[in-house]
Amino acid sequence: MPDEHLSVAENSMKKTIEVLKKDLGSLRAGRATPALLDKLMVPYYGTPTPVNQLANLSVPEPRLLVIAPWDKKMLPDIERAILKSDLGITPTSDGTVIRLAIPQLTTERRAELGRAVRKKGEEARVAVRNIRREANDSLKASQKEGKISEDDLKRRQDEIQKLTDRFVKEIDLVVETKEHEIMQV
């Protein structure tokens, strides 16, 4: 039974890493990637729908993203959604596809994005530490109920700490990789 504390904590920490990677993937790093449009919702017959479900997204060049909607009537709606979004990119349409030219990032914007990446990384670290705390509290409750001995409690707390350290290192690696990607010219 107490081994489930470790597996629950590990699964929660894995989900935290996945959320961090998804969040960082939607940050503009100076090169085109379909992940930039992951959070972009377009009204489709009254229902907000992700743009990747309405169109084919491609990256023909490092600084160009092409959106080819399957329904050509959706072009104006997709353009409006891009303009309303916080992407800061003006779409160009030729009547069949939308082109998004990704501008070169300024040094100031790179520093700002670097701070945002570090902030998201710290939020992920805090989430992992909260998961550790919850797991330890759960173990202490099991020990009070007499389900595990004090020695088992200490051993399992050490295992949870090692797990936490491993995931914090993984978060640091993800953040460092994204920062490096942003700082590349």
Q: What percentage of residues in the chain have a pLDDT greater than 70?
A: 96
Q: Are residues 174 and 138 in the same domain?
A: yes
User: What pLDDT, in 10s, does the model give residues 61-88?
Assistant: 888 889 998 888 888 888 888 888 877 7
**How far lies 74's CA from each of 7, 95, 103, in Å?**
45, 10, 25
Contact 150, 92 (CB under 8 A): no
Q: Are residues 56 and 18 in the same domain?
A: no
Q: Is the pLDDT of residue 97 over 80?
A: yes
Q: What is the pLDDT confidence band of residue 29, given thresholds at 50, 70 and 90?
A: low
| Residue 131 exposed, middle or buried by CB count within 10 Å (0-12, 13-18, 19+) | buried
pLDDT on residue 1: 43
Q: How far apart are CA 14 and CA 8, in angstroms?
A: 10
| Residues with Cβ within 8 Å of residue 118, at least 6 apart in sequence | 175, 179
pLDDT on residue 13: 92
Contact 74, 81 (CB under 8 A): no
Provide the β-strand partners of residue 66. Answer: 58, 99
Domain of residue 71: give its range. 34-101
Residue 104 backbone zone (phi > 0: left; psi -120 to 50: alpha; other: beta): beta
Strands 98-101 and 64-69: antiparallel
Q: Is the pLDDT of residue 108 over 70?
A: yes
Q: Where would I find the H helices in the chain? A: 3-25, 75-84, 107-144, 150-183
Contact 97, 68 (CB under 8 A): yes
Q: Are residues 49 and 110 in the same domain?
A: no
Contact 130, 12 (CB under 8 A): no
Q: Look up residue 182 and give its two tokens.
A: 């942003």
> In the chain, how many domains are there?
2
Q: What is the pLDDT confidence band of residue 185, given thresholds at 50, 70 and 90?
A: low
Averaged pLDDT, 1-26: 84
- State which of 101, 116, 143 marks the end of a domain: 101
DSSP 64: E
Averaged pLDDT, 2-21: 87
User: What pLDDT, in 10s, does the model give residues 140-164?
Assistant: 998 898 888 888 889 999 999 999 9
- State which of 101, 117, 144 marks the end of a domain: 101
Q: Look up residue 125 and give its two tokens.
A: 């670290």
- Looking up residue 94, the CATH number of its domain turns out to be 3.30.1360.40
Q: Are residues 177 and 136 in the same domain?
A: yes
Q: What is the pLDDT confidence band of residue 28, given thresholds at 50, 70 and 90?
A: low
- Looking up residue 135, the CATH number of its domain turns out to be 1.10.132.20
Averaged pLDDT, 21-45: 78
Strands 47-50 and 64-69: unpaired
Q: Are residues 162 and 113 in the same domain?
A: yes
